[in-house]
């Protein structure tokens, strides 16, 4: 792929209401997990990671008020820009997500622009692909920047698992982490945004140099044996795109949120792509602090990676980030620091 520079980041999370605060909290391993207002079938309160909004918005308004400040933080970091020439690619939950708010595709983009008092480029769009949607947005941003010659593009994500319909469905499928189920995730929510530009716009810093997709024939809801075919395909495609080998990478940041399936898949994909001995190949998980944040995870990961490079606590200059949806969609990107 044609490299993209990460120029700025903004975040609204349960452990910090801007990118510096959130990244510092994640680095320190801080959490804000607490009992929510939702009760499980066992009569116990469901634990999650809620963004402390004031007032406590509900419905689509919550999505708007989590992502709008993150977008504004990005824009404030770069100063004066012509927004009508800057597309906004807004990542949201999958269309088949249980408990999903109605009207997201029809209204959310306009509501975000209204909250910001801004109008973005006509090619702005809502991408309803969950965690993998961020990878699709990066791919679209590359096309807009290099083929339609926009100077920069915002990739943002906003998502919440803290709705009655979502929690009820995942609890029924034994997907939530509870006192009775250790193989599950803690639900969370977040808004995050990154500003991307062509590599020439920033010769130093963090760059996205590879991107890849795959499809897993044995997703988490399947009873087929897991071989990690989809994630392996996505990683190989991203490595080819970046002209690197797995052994060239220094560490990983991914969307795993606590379920055994994801860790098994990541281990299998690693065994099928790494052809040389590495003494240490760490994996960073934002969900340890934020819980499951869905479509907001990719811009949040880019923000955490950027902070790690800027503060010099990254474990090397080459990073693999990978993502997966429950339907079997898989995506991967390669980040490089120069």
As a whole number of Å, the CA-based R_g of the chain is 19
Q: How far apart are alpha carbons 161 and 185 in whole angstroms?
A: 11
Give, to the nearest 10 degrees, the angle between helix 104-116 and helix 60-78.
50
Residue 198 in tokens: 């062509």
Q: What is the pLDDT of residue 4?
A: 96
Q: What is the pLDDT of residue 44?
A: 92
Confidence band of 204 (pLDDT split at 50, 70, 90)? low
The rounded Cα 315 to chain-centroid distance in angstroms is 20
Helix (H) or strand (E) holding 259: none
Q: What is the pLDDT of residue 83?
A: 83
Q: Is 97 helix (H, G, I), strand (E, B) or coil?
A: coil
Q: Is 13 helix (H, G, I), strand (E, B) or coil?
A: strand
Q: What is the pLDDT of residue 81?
A: 77
Percentage of residues in the chain having pLDDT higher than 70 = 99
Residue 247 in tokens: 């052994």
Contact 111, 119 (CB under 8 A): no
Q: Which residue stretches of 176-291 are H helix? A: 229-242, 260-273, 287-290
Residue 277 in tokens: 């001995």
Q: What is the pLDDT of residue 79?
A: 79
What is the average pLDDT score of the chain? 95
N-terminal to C-terminal alpha carbon distance within the chain: 17
> How many residues are recorded in the chain?
338
Q: Which whole number is the average pLDDT over 297-308? A: 97
Specify the range with the lowest mean pLDDT, choosing from 60-64, 275-279, 282-286, 325-329: 275-279
């Amino acid at each position: 792929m044609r490299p993209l520079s990460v120029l700025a980041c903004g975040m609204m999370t349960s452990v910090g209401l801007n990118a510096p605060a959130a990244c510092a909290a994640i680095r320190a391993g801080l959490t804000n997990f607490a009992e929510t207002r939702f009760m499980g079938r066992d009569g116990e309160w469901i634990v999650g990671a809620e963004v402390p909004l004031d007032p406590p918005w509900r419905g689509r308004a919550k999505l708007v008020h989590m992502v709008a400040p993150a977008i504004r933080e990005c824009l404030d970091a770069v100063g004066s820009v012509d927004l009508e020439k800057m597309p906004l690619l807004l990542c949201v939950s999958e269309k088949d997500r249980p408990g999903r708010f109605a009207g997201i595709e029809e209204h959310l983009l306009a509501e975000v622009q209204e909250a910001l008092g801004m109008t973005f480029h006509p090619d702005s769009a809502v991408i309803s692909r969950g965690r993998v949607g961020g990878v699709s947005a990066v791919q679209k941003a590359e096309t807009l920047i290099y083929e339609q010659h926009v100077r920069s593009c915002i990739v943002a994500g906003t998502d919440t698992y803290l709705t009655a319909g979502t929690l009820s469905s995942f609890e029924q499928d034994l997907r939530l982490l509870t006192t009775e189920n250790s193989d599950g995730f803690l639900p969370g929510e977040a808004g995050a945004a990154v500003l991307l530009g062509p590599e020439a716009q920033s010769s130093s810093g963090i760059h996205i140099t590879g991107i890849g997709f795959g499809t897993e024939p044995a997703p988490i809801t399947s009873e087929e044996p897991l071989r990690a075919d989809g994630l392996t395909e996505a990683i190989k495609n991203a490595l080819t795109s970046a002209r690197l080998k797995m052994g060239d990478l220094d560490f990983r940041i991914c969307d795993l949120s606590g379920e055994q399936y994801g860790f098994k898949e990541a281990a299998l994909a690693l065994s099928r792509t790494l052809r040389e001995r590495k003494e240490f190949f760490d994996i960073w998980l934002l969900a340890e602090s934020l819980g499951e944040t869905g479509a907001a995870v990719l811009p949040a990961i880019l923000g955490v990676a950027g902070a790690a490079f800027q503060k010099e606590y990254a474990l090397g200059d080459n990073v693999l980030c990978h993502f997966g949806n429950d339907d079997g969609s898989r995506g991967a990107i390669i980040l490089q620091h120069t």
